[in-house]
């Protein structure tokens, strides 16, 4: 093992690592080579002497760090910085350091090692502050504007800096759009709260010299930015003038291009092993401008498990509900069964809510009684906060109790609805979203969704009479939603020259053009030359457009209409 000097190995005052190193080299018979000496700690006669020499050299290296570097050099740097003098730190953009000890007339320079305005950068920094105020304190918007449009820091050359002065040379970050020098978003935020721009000097995160040098930002402009970013004042105390900017604007839901989902808060899933019957969240996708039902699992690092567009599920449930209404109104016995299956709510849940309301009322009475014995302001404030929480809980419980008991009125409304249900069925597309939801809650309890593959999920409606209706859905996409097994099945059918009709039947959601494009994407251009299957339809044909598809549904409808259990199959 070789090094230029022993101090390249260790400068440790404790000498712990040094002795561990010596012992390891001795046990493994490793020699340490330096230009002036070869240390052999395992030498039978000189080994102990070599160990002591190595320790002495390492100790001198540690003493040099402790007594010279930290004891003199670093202390001298702190001495200068504490007095508002530049001591070698990064120079704040917009300033330059006056390195002239004497002025041209020979007199002492009062601004020696102090900040001076550097015009090329100071004008850019001032423009940043003005842009921030023009954007009403929106930090991200201002930074994006600077990133795309500037102004930018100029690339400096030696002739741009006056003789006897030193300016910043650490700026390296460039705009990804224009390639010009710009601060990063975090650097821009720190720039806006740097008190050096109004003349104060900081040492160890504390202002040690007030009005130490020339300010390059007007005080009112600086304080505008400071009060919108910094939560603490110049002394480290909470900033009473802090006015945080809300970066996310809450837009009016009525302005969204899509109506809210019909069946929000009625969808559940059992896909989480540790949380069965988990309710799906209803969220608005700002990028796609669509509502979606989303499964979250906050126990995972990636909380989003899966999601599905709301309009896909709503269309399926609407179709099931319409079929259910048709089947129910045909048979009088089925109609009466539907009426009797509607209860005014779960009796156990009603009792639970009534007990919770009663317990909360008792807790409120106890809090009121205890206030007469409390005098400490902090404890009184906590008790009052607890009282307000109990009041909010009671409001929530009462609202839920009212919702459950409203089922009785719902049953009465449904009993009177039969004369007009046929009109509702005939004009289903005109039925408002809320009315569809009310009809659904009258006939069904909830909806469950299960993930089968990445793009296929099953939707199951649980009716109040105990029966269920299930339908699967597939994302209408020719993109990356395809599973490996679907791609393999498509290739196998083309490879074995299956008829075009059979291929379209196997993939009813896609046109022939989409299927051939998928083959070309995965298996290249040459695959088409080997296909000799029977092809009778043009490229824009889907399964529903074929004569075979149009013939099959008619036969199925006639069979269902003639079947005695037709209504049962659609309940």
Strands 267-269 and 444-451, bridge-based pairing: parallel
Both 225 and 120 in one domain: the answer is yes
pTM (whole model) above 0.75: no
Q: Who contacts 507 (Cβ-Cβ below 8 Å, separation ≥6)?
A: 486, 490, 515, 543
Both 434 and 502 in one domain: the answer is no
In tens, the pLDDT along 519-534 reads 888 777 676 677 888 8
**DSSP three-state, residue 330:** helix
Residue 462 near residue 447 (C-beta atoms within 8 A): yes
Both 402 and 512 in one domain: the answer is no
Q: How far apart are CA 233 and CA 227, in angstroms?
A: 8
Q: Which of 442, 474, 505 is the last residue of a domain?
A: 442
| Sign for the pseudo-dihedral over CA of 111, 115, 120, 123 | negative
Both 505 and 564 in one domain: the answer is yes
Radius of gyration of the chain (CA): 39
Q: How far apart are CA 24 and CA 41, in angstroms?
A: 10
Both 99 and 59 in one domain: the answer is no
Which residue(s) pair with 116 in the sheet?
96
CATH number of the CATH domain containing 100: 3.90.1750.20
Both 394 and 429 in one domain: the answer is yes
Query: Number of helices (H) and strands (E), helices first, in the chain?
Result: 18, 15
- Decide if 462 is inside a domain: no
Which of 72, 73, 68, 62 minimizes the C-alpha distance to 8? 62
Both 535 and 429 in one domain: the answer is no
Per the structure, the complete domain to which residue 526 belongs is given by: 484-569
- Decide if 294 is inside a domain: no
The pLDDT value recorded for residue 11 is 79
- Decide if 516 is inside a domain: yes
- Decide if 415 is inside a domain: yes
The pLDDT value recorded for residue 564 is 38
The pLDDT value recorded for residue 420 is 64
**How many other C-beta atoms are found inside a 10 Å radius of the C-beta of residue 207?**
15
Which of 99, 119, 121 minimizes the C-alpha distance to 111? 99
Both 75 and 137 in one domain: the answer is no
Q: How far apart are CA 513 and CA 396, in angstroms?
A: 54
Q: Who contacts 192 (Cβ-Cβ below 8 Å, separation ≥6)?
A: 128, 129, 132, 139, 225, 226, 229
The pLDDT value recorded for residue 254 is 83
Both 427 and 542 in one domain: the answer is no
Q: Please count the structural domains in the chain.
A: 4
Q: How far apart are CA 510 and CA 518, in angstroms?
A: 10
For 488, what's the count of Cα atoms within 13 Å in the CB-facing half-sphere?
3
- pLDDT, tens digit only, all 571 positions of the chain: 888 878 788 877 778 888 889 899 999 999 999 888 888 999 998 999 999 999 888 888 888 888 888 888 888 989 999 999 999 889 999 999 999 999 999 999 999 999 999 999 999 999 999 999 999 899 999 999 999 999 999 999 888 999 999 998 888 999 988 999 999 999 999 999 999 999 999 999 899 999 999 999 999 999 999 999 999 999 989 999 998 876 666 678 888 888 899 999 999 999 998 888 999 999 998 888 899 999 988 777 667 888 899 999 999 999 999 988 887 665 556 556 655 655 544 555 667 778 888 888 888 877 777 666 666 677 777 777 778 888 888 888 888 777 666 655 555 555 555 666 777 788 888 888 888 998 898 889 999 999 887 678 899 999 988 889 998 876 544 444 567 778 888 888 888 889 999 999 888 878 898 888 888 887 776 766 778 888 889 989 988 889 888 887 544 433 433 333 433 433 3
Q: Which of 16, 49, 82 is the last residue of a domain?
A: 82
* Helix, strand, coil percent content, the chain, rounded in steps of 5: 50, 15, 35
Q: Which of 21, 54, 82 is the last residue of a domain?
A: 82
The pLDDT value recorded for residue 404 is 65
**DSSP three-state, residue 344:** coil
Q: Which helix (H) or strand (E) holds 202?
A: strand 201-203
**DSSP class of residue 238?**
B
- Decide if 87 is inside a domain: no
- Decide if 469 is inside a domain: no
Both 142 and 219 in one domain: the answer is yes
Which of 446, 359, 346 minimizes the C-alpha distance to 397? 359
- Decide if 455 is inside a domain: no
Tokens 């009258």 -> residue: 442
Both 406 and 519 in one domain: the answer is no
Both 25 and 105 in one domain: the answer is no
- Decide if 322 is inside a domain: yes
In tens, the pLDDT along 381-420 reads 777 777 888 888 888 888 877 766 665 555 555 555 566 6
């Amino acid at each position: 093992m070789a090094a230029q000097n022993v101090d390249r190995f260790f400068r440790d005052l404790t000498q712990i690592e040094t002795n561990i190193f010596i012992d390891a080299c001795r046990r493994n018979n490793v020699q340490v080579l330096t230009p002036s000496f070869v240390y052999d700690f395992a030498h039978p006669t000189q080994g102990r002497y070599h160990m002591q020499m190595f320790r002495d050299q390492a100790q001198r290296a540690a003493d040099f760090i402790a007594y010279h570097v930290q004891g003199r050099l670093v202390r001298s740097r702190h001495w200068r910085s504490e007095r508002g003098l530049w001591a070698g730190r990064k120079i704040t953009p917009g300033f330059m350091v006056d390195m002239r000890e004497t002025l041209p007339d020979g007199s002492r320079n009062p601004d020696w090692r102090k900040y001076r305005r550097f015009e090329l950068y100071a004008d850019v920094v001032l423009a940043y502050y003005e842009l921030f105020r023009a954007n009403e304190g929106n930090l991200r918007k201002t930074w994006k504007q600077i990133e795309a449009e500037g102004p930018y820091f100029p690339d400096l050359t030696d002739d741009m800096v006056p003789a006897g002065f030193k300016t910043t040379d650490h700026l390296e970050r460039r705009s990804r759009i224009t390639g010009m020098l710009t601060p990063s978003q975090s650097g821009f935020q720190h720039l806006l709260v740097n008190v050096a721009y109004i003349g104060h000097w900081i040492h160890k995160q504390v202002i040690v010299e007030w009005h130490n040098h020339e300010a390059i930002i007007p005080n009112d402009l600086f304080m505008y930015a400071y009060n919108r970013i910094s939560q603490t004042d110049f002394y480290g105390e909470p900033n009473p003038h802090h006015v945080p900017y809300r970066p996310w604007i809450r837009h009016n839901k009525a302005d969204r291009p899509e109506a809210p989902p019909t069946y929000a808060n009625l969808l559940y899933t059992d896909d989480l092993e540790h949380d069965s019957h988990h309710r799906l969240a209803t969220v608005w996708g700002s990028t796609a401008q669509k509502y979606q039902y989303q499964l979250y699992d906050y126990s995972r690092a990636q909380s989003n498990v899966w999601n599905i567009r709301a309009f896909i599920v709503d269309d399926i449930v609407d179709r099931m509900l319409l079929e259910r209404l048709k089947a129910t109104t045909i048979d009088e016995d089925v109609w009466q069964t539907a009426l009797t299956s509607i209860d005014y709510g779960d009796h156990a849940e009603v009792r639970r809510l009534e007990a919770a309301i009663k317990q909360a009322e008792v807790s409120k009475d106890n809090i009121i009684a205890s206030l007469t014995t409390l005098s400490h302001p902090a404890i009184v404030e906590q008790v009052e906060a607890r009282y307000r929480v109990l009041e909010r809980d009671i409001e929530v419980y009462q609202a839920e109790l009212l919702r459950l008991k409203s089922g009785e009125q719902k049953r009465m409304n449904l009993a009177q609805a039969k004369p007009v249900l046929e009109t509702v069925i005939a004009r289903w597309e005109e039925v408002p979203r809320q009315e569809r939801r009310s009809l659904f809650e009258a006939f069904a309890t909830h909806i469950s969704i299960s993930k089968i593959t990445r793009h296929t999920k099953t939707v199951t409606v649980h009716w109040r009479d105990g029966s269920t209706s299930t339908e699967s859905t597939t994302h209408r996409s020719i993109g990356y939603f395809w599973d490996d097994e679907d791609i393999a099945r498509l290739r196998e059918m083309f490879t074995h020259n299956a008829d075009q009709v059979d291929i379209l039947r196997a993939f009813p959601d896609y046109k022939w053009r989409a299927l051939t494009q998928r083959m070309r994407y995965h298996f290249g251009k040459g695959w088409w030359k080997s296909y000799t299957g029977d092809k009778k339809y043009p490229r824009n044909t889907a399964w529903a457009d074929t004569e075979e598809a149009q013939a099959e549904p008619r036969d199925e409808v006639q069979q269902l209409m003639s079947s005695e259990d037709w209504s049962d199959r659609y309940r």
